Amino acid sequence: MNTEIILSNYENAKKVYAQYGVDVDKAIEKFKTIPISVHNWQGDDVSGFEGSEGIYSENVVTGNYPGRARNGDEMRQDLEQAFKFSPCKHKLNLHSMYAEPKEKRERNEYVTEDYRTWIDWAKKNNLGIDFNVSYFTHPMMKDGCSLASDDENVREYWIQAGIGGRKIANDIGEELGQVCINNTWIPDGTKDIPADRGAYRKRLENSLDRILETPYDKKNMRDVIEGKVFGIGTESFVVGSHDFLLAYAIKNGIGITFDTGHYHPTEDVADKVTAIYPFVESINTHLTRGVRWDSDHCLIQNDDLRNILLEIKRQDLFNKNVDLGLDYFDATINRVSSWIIGIRAAGKTLLDVLLEPSHLLKEAEKNHKLTQRLALMDEFKSLPASAVWDYLCMKEGKGVGSSWLKDMEVYEQEVQLKRD
Give exposure, 84-105, as e/b (b: 16+ Cβ within 10 Å). bbbbbbbbbbbbbbbbeeeeee
Catalytic residue among 45, 78, 294, 390: 294
Of the candidates 168, 165, 216, 158, the one whose C-alpha atom is nearest the C-alpha of residue 188 is 158
Q: Smallest Cα–Cα separation from 227: which of 242, 239, 238?
A: 242
Determine how many CB atoms are found less than 10 A away from the CB of residue 301: 14
Kind and range of the H or E run holding 88: none
Residue 286 a catalytic site member: yes
Active site residue 330: no
**Is residue 303 annotated as part of the catalytic site, yes or no?**
no
Which position among 114, 205, 226, 304 bears the catalytic label?
226
| CB neighbour list of residue 10: distance below 8 Å, 6 or more residues apart | 387, 388, 390, 391
Known active-site residue 185: yes
226 is an active site residue: yes
Catalytic residue, candidates 90, 286, 313, 348: 286
Choosing from 296, 304, 323, 412, the catalytic residue is 296
Which residue in 45, 327, 356, 390 is the catalytic one? Answer: 327
The burial class, CB within 10 Å (0-12 / 13-18 / 19+), for 349 is: buried
Answer whether 398's CB lies under 8 Å from 86's CB. Answer: yes
Q: Is 327 a catalytic residue?
A: yes
What's the CA gap between 189 and 141, in Å, rounded? 11
* CA distances from residue 418 to 66, 70, 79, 81, 234 in whole angstroms, order as listed: 9, 12, 17, 16, 39
Exactly one of 205, 259, 304, 390 is catalytic; which is it? 259
Instruction: Report how far residue 13's alpha carbon sits from residue 17's, in angstroms, rounded to the nearest whole number.
Output: 6
Catalytic position from the list 39, 90, 138, 262: 262
Q: In sequence order, what are the beta bridge partners of 238? A: 189
Instruction: Report the candidate in 288, 237, 235 with the shortest Cα–Cα distance to residue 258.
Output: 288
Q: 3-class DSSP state for residue 129?
A: strand
Catalytic pick from 185, 339, 389, 404? 185
67 phi and psi angles, rounded to 5 deg: 100, 15
404 is catalytic: no
Catalogue the active-site residues: 185, 226, 228, 259, 262, 286, 294, 296, 327
